[in-house]
Chains A and B, each alone.
Chain A
Amino acid sequence: MEKVFGKPESLSDRPFTYCPGCAHSLVHRLTAEAIDDLGVMPRCIGVASVGCSVFSDLYFNFDFIQAAHGRAPAVATGIKRVKPDCVLFTHQGDGDLASIGTAELIHSANRGEKITIIFVNNAIYGMTGGQMAPTTLIGMKTTTSPLGRQAEVQGYPLRVCELIRELKGVAYLERTAVNNPQNVLKTKRALKKAFQAQLDGLGFSLVEVVSQCPTGWGMLPADSLEWLEKEMGAYFPLGVFKDAKAEEPQEVA
């Protein structure tokens, strides 16, 4: 009998320990599927960050390293320059990537490091208990914005894809979501394209996955999917922000 569905080879047998309804585990699985499809598992090296995904190293079947808060792109840079044949990716949340790690993000992107960043944006610091993130929406209540985020006090939610799209070193940039089956499939396609850009030596690639955090948002999982669509979707438009391959001048027949 033909096997039509199974656990990706790149995923370990370790059960995920994320909260019910959390998107991190889904993104891990899609990452593993993309890596399997591209046939690059043994050459993959993952960089775990700080936050809910600090233990993402446990869930994969290839080499992994855990990085300091915000520094995963710098760590990936060091590894990739020593092992250019390896496929490097980081898995980072919004606090890690878009707050404490903005310098490493922007400069690794600007250098065109041949690494892939998987950016899970759920608009909150989950691991530390629901504090305001750089991507927390205006009016959104968190444990450190109890009155709701106010632009004049806490500034505006940071849009990472819009921020780095102009950098010449960026080869592939897409924002997706995992709140419904269509978006899940799109996310997997985006991850494959991002890895392919790295494999083709085109430069830096990043996939931002707008993600639900029912625990941090204080919602039932089903409600969080709806809220993501309506509220997050309005501020963080999904789509391809940059695709160096598509922009390559086409040969005229």
Chain B
Amino acid sequence: MAEERLLMKGNEAIGEAALRAGCRFYAGYPITPQNELTEYMSRRMPEEGGTFIQAESEIAAINMVYGASAAGARTMTSSSGPGISLKQEGISYLCGSELPCFYANIVRGGPGLGNIAPAQSDYFQSTRGGGHGDYRVVVFAPSTVQELVDLTILGFEVADRYNNPSMILGDGILGQMMEPVVMRESVTYDPSGKTGWALGNSEGRERHMITSVRLAPGTLERHNVHLRKKYLEIEAKEVRYELYEVDDADVVIIAYGTAARVAKSAVTAAREKGGIKLGLLRPITLWPFPTDAIADLAKNKQDILVAEMSFGQLYEDVRLSVCGKAKVSLLAHTGGGLPTEDEIIEAAGKCVASSEPVEIYPVLE
């Protein structure tokens, strides 16, 4: 399909972008706040000649994706936190077997059943692998519906490039809101790069075996080191972030996704008021993490304020990046709470005023 300018809901935009990236297999299970994506795929996937399956569970869905990916298809699933928890075993198998896939976590408040309000509390689950064993998935953090589109398409490309899952870490706001988007032209997906390993008719070639079992002594360790090297390459090549008004900033806010949208407005508002000069570093990939860019802020002796919709998860990666060489403070909402512009500007004032890092939980104030 040709490039179009559309007004789309975030969840549906992910679905359309996936189809245009050549995704022809989707398996999912209903969960709020991502249902529009599953519904969209149920209607559009057959139109494109692909397969849509409403699976009996999230566990079955990710294992269908495992099979479809093994057969060489561009494939995806989507869910929200509790469902992604169930999918973690399958994601671990995909990583262990080096199979690509793409998935979206439209995050809701946790832990447990939590609520259906937007949150960022699945940061650790996403960036640390999330399931059992040594592995990583590439985590994209869009902050607009346009980025949902662009990073979905990129997500499929990156997954295929490294034979590893990649994902979007969104939230209920991004999934539910409508924005104008430029929907890119459909790509012609060429599966020929997968003919060396994909399952199919084995006539006239060596048979293909896909597995994550490596019982013989030393084989799993060697395989995991191979994975590690791949992950180091991803860390070297795939880091993405945005800098906004950082150069002369007294306090640099580090935020992603919905929290970064609020932070950007706070930067502009504070500068218009002529108060503290704020800047923003917005990670677009959460793993690989923009460690070097954040370390540079520390070298410049800039104060750092992490604004996130979780209790200090992004904060931990920022502190690891600066290694004690900068004052890192935290403004945290959780369980569906959202930061406001005023809270961010006020928190930045507290950062500057304090010689020690501060941790601010507005719900307690």
Contacts and interface: CB of A to CB of B under 8 A. Distances in A.
A65 B53 contact: no
Interface string A34-56: 00000000111101100000110
A44 to B, nearest CB: 8
Interface string B26-59: 0100000000000000000000000101011101
A44 B211 CA distance: 17
B90 A68 contact: yes
A62 to B, nearest CB: 5
A81 interface: yes
B213 interface: yes
Given A65-B209, A78-B25, A43 B201 contact: yes
Contacts of B154: none
B207 A61 contact: yes
B68 A74 contact: no
Interface string B191-207: 00000000111111001
A82 B56 contact: no
A82 B73 contact: yes
Nearest to B72: A82
B62 to A, nearest CB: 8
Contacts, number: 128
Contacts of B25: 78, 81-82
Contacts of A60: 207
Contacts of B72: 82
Size category of the binding interface on chain A: 35 or more
Contacts of B59: 71, 74, 103-104
B213 A74 contact: no
Interface string A61-73: 1111111100100
Contacts of B229: none
A68 B67 CA distance: 11
Interface residues of B, number: 40
Nearest to B90: A68
A60 B65 CA distance: 24
A88 to B, nearest CB: 9
Contact of A64 (B57, B73, B207): B207
A11 B60 CA distance: 30
Given A65-B209, A65-B210, A65-B211, A79 B70 contact: yes
A45 B64 contact: no
Contact of B67 (A43, A64, A79): A79
Interface string B1-41: 00000000000000000000000110100000000000000
Contacts of B65: 78
A136 interface: no
A78 B71 contact: yes
B63 A67 contact: yes
B103 interface: no
Contacts of B201: 42-43, 83, 85-86
B212 interface: yes
Contacts of A80: 67
B157 interface: no
A66 B210 contact: yes
Contacts of B57: 103
Given A63-B209, A66-B213, A68-B89, A79 B68 contact: yes
B93 interface: yes
A103 B59 CA distance: 10
B63 A81 contact: no
B199 A104 contact: no
A135 interface: no
A71 B89 CA distance: 11
A75 interface: yes
A78 B199 contact: no
B66 interface: yes
B85 to A, nearest CB: 15
A76 interface: yes
B226 interface: no
Contacts of B60: 71, 74, 77, 103-104, 107
A57 interface: yes
B202 A62 contact: yes
14 contacts: A48-B211, A60-B207, A64-B199, A65-B211, A67-B93, A74-B55, A75-B64, A75-B66, A78-B25, A81-B64, A82-B51, A82-B67, A85-B201, A103-B59
Given A61-B202, A71-B63, A74-B67, 6 more contacts: A64-B208, A66-B210, A66-B212, A75-B64, A78-B71, A82-B24
Interface of A: 42-45, 47-48, 54-55, 57, 60-68, 71, 74-83, 85-86, 103-104, 106-107
Q: Which 6 A-B pairs have the closest CB atoms?
A: A78-B67, A74-B63, A42-B203, A107-B56, A82-B71, A78-B64
